[in-house]
Chains A and B, each alone.
Chain A
Amino acid sequence: MAKKLESTFKNMVLVLFTVTLIASSAVGVVYELTKTPIEQAKQNKKLKAIKDVVPAFDNNPDADKYTVDLNGETLELYPAKQNGQLVGTAIKTFTTKGFSGKFWIMVGIKPDGTINNYSVLEHKETPGLGSKMGEWFKGKGKQSIINKNPLNTKFIVSKDGGDIDAITAATISSRAFLDAIQKASNAYNKDLK
């Protein structure tokens, strides 16, 4: 085995500096190479979330996005259009009242205000209980929010006198979920007025 380089102060500083320089440059190169694909991946993720909740569209909802301010909270709304006509609006809404804190939902609202579909984005609700909200509110009958309109239906859990059935044993998550949907609806209708 060849002799190791001596641990003199000059050698140590020089080597560390060179190693860091080469390492940083290499990383910088990879950074440049992956910058665009990373942006692309982020865009695709956003577009997919929008596509999941509104009817077919031919515009770029992200490019046409606008914001609505509600009591200090700002929501982002993404209008989806087909042939220039509004077919639905995807709204990125949130609630801070979750069992495990804040979580985000992408909800699609039809032009007349009825719920088209929704998709739960990030959340930390209890797996097996609150996490069921991903599918629960698309179910049948009183637990579903699909095709119902918060303007004429009470988007509150039945336990509290509302019209939507909460997830069994996950009332807090359910209340938080509906709170987020109501917030989205308020933002959408505030803008229409």
Chain B
Amino acid sequence: MSQLNNFTKGFIRENPVFVLLLGMCPTLGVTTSAVNGLGMGLATTFVLVLSNLVISLVANLIPDKVRIPGFIVIIASFVTMVDMSMAAYLPSLHESLGLFIPLIVVNCIVLGRAESFASKNKAISSIIDGLGMGLGFAFALTLLGGTRELLGSGKLFNMEIFNEGYGMLIFVLAPGAFLVLGYLIAIINKLRKA
């Protein structure tokens, strides 16, 4: 598969959230605003690219029976590094994302890509796969976050689009996450069939 194809598949054709239905927990949990969605998406991309790279390089040195624990340790270390860096340099985003940052380690996307792609491909392809999937994830989260933020509070990226009084609060609360994602997937399913 050409590298361009490799990169773009993460956005629509094999979008981890809308098509593969992976990484649901952070998708629903942090998308109360566009900024949170984007921040989480980028943090996950960072971990995804680094772990894909390392795993593609060392996959042959890890015996098959212990590959899952081995991959998990590698992923967990990158997650911890991202967690600490964000606490140091992006404290308010770190606070908004909270528990979901360490939970990147159990994001099925990261382990999934490591297992199904990175362990079987070369470094460059793995990096690009990680980048494409990660940014596709970030795209989905920003879209979801932005929709919820706009419908719920009239703002987008913290800028007021219309008066907060017209917003429907339910969208920034738990049920709203399920509802918006459900409708987004339905719409995207329709578009894909067209």
Contact = CB atoms under 8 A, between A and B. Distances in A.
A6 B63 contact: yes
Interface residues of B, number: 27
A174 B179 CA distance: 31
Contacts of A2: 60
A7 interface: yes
Contacts of B169: 127-128
Given A7-B65, A23-B73, A128-B169, A34 B60 contact: no
Contacts of A45: 91
B70 A37 contact: no
A38 B88 contact: yes
Contacts of B91: 41-42, 44-45
B13 interface: no
Would you call the interface of chain B mostly helix, strand, loop, or mixed?
Answer: helix
Interface in B80-104: 80-81, 84-85, 87-89, 91
A12 B66 contact: yes
Contacts of A86: none
A143 to B, nearest CB: 18
A74 interface: no
Which bucket holds chain A's interface residue count? 20 to 34
B63 A30 contact: no
Nearest to B172: A127
A127 B58 CA distance: 48
Contact of B69 (A16, A24, A31, A38): A16
A31 to B, nearest CB: 6
B189 interface: no
Contacts of B187: none
Given A19-B74, A45-B91, A127-B173, A31 B84 contact: yes
Contacts of B64: 4, 7
A15 interface: yes
B1 interface: no
Interface of B: 58-66, 69-70, 73-74, 76-77, 80-81, 84-85, 87-89, 91, 120, 169, 172-173
Given A1-B120, A30-B81, A34-B88, 20 more contacts: A2-B60, A7-B63, A12-B63, A12-B66, A15-B70, A16-B69, A19-B58, A20-B73, A23-B77, A26-B81, A27-B81, A30-B84, A31-B84, A34-B84, A37-B88, A37-B89, A38-B88, A41-B91, A44-B91, A127-B173
